[in-house]
Amino acid sequence: MAIAGLWLLSPFFPARASTVGMVELDGPIGPATAAYVTRAIEESARRQDECLVVRLDTPGGLLDSTRDIVRAFYASPMPVVVHVAPAGASATSAGCFITLAADVAVMAPGTSIGAAHPVVLGGSPGGDEAKPDNVMKQKMENYAASYAESIALKRGRNAVWAVDSVRNSASVAAEKALELKVIDLIATDTADLLGRIDGRTVNGRTLHTAGAEVATIPMTSREKAFQILWRPEVMFLLMLVAIYGIIGELSNPGSIFPGVVGAIAFILALYMGAVLPINTAGLVLILLAIGLFVADAFTPTHGILTVGGIATFLLGAFMLFDPSEGSPRLSWSIVLPAALVTAAFFLFVVGAGLRAQRLPVRTGSQAMLGQPATALTPIGPTGGTVFVEGESWSATSEIPVAAGDLVTITGLHGLTLQVQPTPPPPS
């Protein structure tokens, strides 16, 4: 009877509507992305969502951060669905690993996946400095291939293609990926995706996603700030600000503000350098360009060193990040204006500051040496008075000077000037 009563009352107590968590990864994969995905999985699990949908569009990213995301997928208590979307999106490099690691891998029509060949950080210590060390490159390639294969085998996907995407940078469109069993489904948008995975059993759990409410999990302010900072353009600009600030402080001692700003930017650039793939040769060329700019302020080369500094700066900027396929690079729209602004900064700001430091003293008591003055009273070894720069000063002279004569200041002893008669101009 009790069961029958509950059944009769059930229409008045409808079941809780199912919900689906949603995160959007649009851009490079880095530490902020990994932290965001891990937090989203935990939050979605607490809400008891049917699954977490990761909407993906990425050109790649760091292997360490990719591993963190894959581990979070493996440890997730609920299914994780990766949807490469919208049309025109791609799951390149790190995105390929992430898609393969999902419980359900889905792509939208007009998207692509693959080209997971690893990027080797840094340059070789000698010889061809723009190419990564061949031994390290081979080690990274072997590791990435075995890692992609293990992910594909765990999720029951095409392991042969996964290895090929690493070793040969294989890339396929959504339809071909479905045919090769790289992904599970093709869905146009989120509503289509939820309808297609409804009733699907994943890890012993049947999904009820048709008509489910989609709850987007946004990035926190801290994650957004870190995601913005994790870009080669930002690190490049931070490095320039550090250079401008520190050298500006050195060329104009006592300014304080440029030095503080430069020091903060330098610390942030060092932090970013530990994350981004920096090429040592590019950094050395940029430092050499700065040396040429500074040298031009001291030597009469008529701008030759500045021109050489601009060329060296451009070359170093393009080599600053590892030139291997898939690595972040700086565009002409950023590098060229930065080179011209840097050259102008050293030519006008730093150059003027350095030249000003080499000028003779123009203020204070030392600036009076060599200045002309008028004798107000007769001046001799015992003393007298002169008028200089609107003030009367005590003065002494080894050669007697009559009142009204012109004298030249030759020394200063305390508050007493030492003068000598000014010779008359030649007739």
pLDDT digits (tens, 9 = 90+) for 332-359: 778 888 888 877 777 666 655 555 555 5
DSSP string, 287-312: HHHHHHHHHHHHS--TTHHHHHHHHH
- Residue, of 313 and 104, whose pLDDT is higher: 104
Query: Distance of alpha carbon 139 from its chain centroid, rounded?
Result: 27
Domain locations in the chain?
16-224, 231-357, 365-421
Cα–Cα distance for residue pair 121/281, rounded to 1 Å: 12
- Reported in sequence order, the residue ranges of 31-140 that DSSP labels E, i.e. its strands, are 52-57, 80-84, 90-92, 104-107, 112-114
pLDDT at 362 over 80: no
Q: Which amino acid is at 408?
A: T
- Residue 287: the pLDDT is 83
- Kindly state the tokens that stand for 313: 């700066």
- Residue 329 CB coordination number (10 Å): 15
Backbone angles phi, psi at 376, to 5 degrees: -85, -30
pLDDT computed for residue 6 by the predictor: 44
Q: 82, 102 in Cβ contact below 8 A?
A: yes
Q: Which of residues 419 and 252 earns the better pLDDT score? A: 419
Place of tokens 């999904």: 207
CA distance 163 to 148: 6
**For domain 16-224, is the CATH number 3.40.605.10?**
no
* Digit-coded pLDDT (tens) for 3-48: 444 444 444 444 456 899 999 998 888 888 999 999 999 999 999 9
The packing angle between helices 351-358 and 280-298, to 10°, is 40
Q: Are 65 and 30 in contact (CB under 8 A)?
A: yes
Omega of the bond leading into 86 within 30 degrees of 0 (cis): yes
pLDDT in tens, 132-182: 457 767 888 888 999 999 999 999 999 999 999 999 989 999 999 999 999
Tell me the per-residue pLDDT of 388-420, one tens digit each, with 9 for 90 and over. 877 888 889 888 888 888 888 888 887 788 888
Report d(CA 289, CA 335) in Å as an integer.
14
| pLDDT for 326 | 44
Residue 29 to residue 227: CA distance in whole angstroms: 9
Domain 365-421 has CATH 2.40.50.140: yes
Q: Which residue has the higher pLDDT, 38 or 373?
A: 38
Measured in whole angstroms, how far is the alpha carbon of residue 402 from the centre of its chain?
72
Q: What is the pTM of this model?
A: 0.63
